[in-house]
Every structure is written in structure tokens, then in C-alpha cells.
Amino acid sequence: MTKLHLSVQDRKIAGVCGGLGESTGIDSDLVRAAFLLSIFVGGMGLLLYVILWIVLPELEFEGKSKKKGIFDGLKRCEKDRMLAGVCAGIANYLDWDVSIIRILLIVIILAGGIGVPLYVILWVLMPMEEEE
């Protein structure tokens, strides 16, 4: 096991799950699934993720840190949107089917109500993709 860190190569949002995977030798997709599951069961996964994001150092790659913002590459989608394009943008970023993201959002809304404020926050923070 290596020192816990944020990953610069295997990141979807902040590199927490990728870094935990690299540090422990566990597949990072399994770590992501565990965090996602823990969000639905009590919500502690989200709090733990944010804490780890704040306290873990970023692993230096080839002598220099490649700091990436949380929303780099994450943009709302204009063409496949139903409301603001947040779910479609997340689906494009993760390379998932947009229906899965929409279903997860509905489950989060029904499970504890945090889905609506989360959607609004992402709506405000995520830029709209540029037309090609």
C-alpha cells in the first residue's frame, strides 16, 4: 500500500476514488461504487469524499502536479437536455447512459431530498458546452 493521495490520472471528479484505488490496489471503479452506495445509505459517503478531497495531497506526476479543477471537462449538455442539461453533461463526462444518471437523481431526491439542491448547484456551477 502506498501513501494515500488524489490521483491525477484516474479521476472522474477530484481523484479521490482513483487515488484510493491506486493506494490500496483495489479497482477504482469498485471504490466509486462503494462511495455511491454509501451516499444512498445514510449519506456519509459524500461527506467522507469531500473530507478526503480536502485533506489528501495530489500525487505528483513526472515531477510536477497536474492540478485540475473539479469541473474541467464537465459541462452541461445542450442537445440531450430535459431541463438544464446537468444529467446529460454528467453522463457525457462519465461516458454513461443519461438514463442511469436521471434515475440516480430521482432516487437521491426520493431518498433524502438532497437531489434538488445538488441539481441546482450543479446547474449554476457547470458551464454550458460550446457549440461545435
Contact 104, 94 (CB under 8 A): no
When pLDDT is averaged across residues 78-99 and rounded to a whole number, the result is 84
So what's the pLDDT on residue 111? 79
pTM of the model: 0.47
Burial group, residue 119, by CB count within 10 angstroms (0-12, 13-18, 19+): middle
pLDDT tens digits, 51-76:
777 777 776 654 444 445 555 677 88
Summarised one tens digit per residue, pLDDT across range 27-43 is 888 888 887 887 777 77
Query: Cβ neighbours of residue 128 under 8 Å, at least 6 residues apart?
Result: 75, 76, 78, 85
Is the pLDDT reported for residue 100 higher than 60? yes
Q: Which contiguous run of DSSP H or E holds residue 105?
A: helix 98-112
Which residue ranges make up each domain of the chain? 1-67, 71-132
Q: Which residues contact 70 (CB under 8 A, 6 or more apart)?
A: 13, 14
For 58, phi then psi, to 5°, come to -85, 135
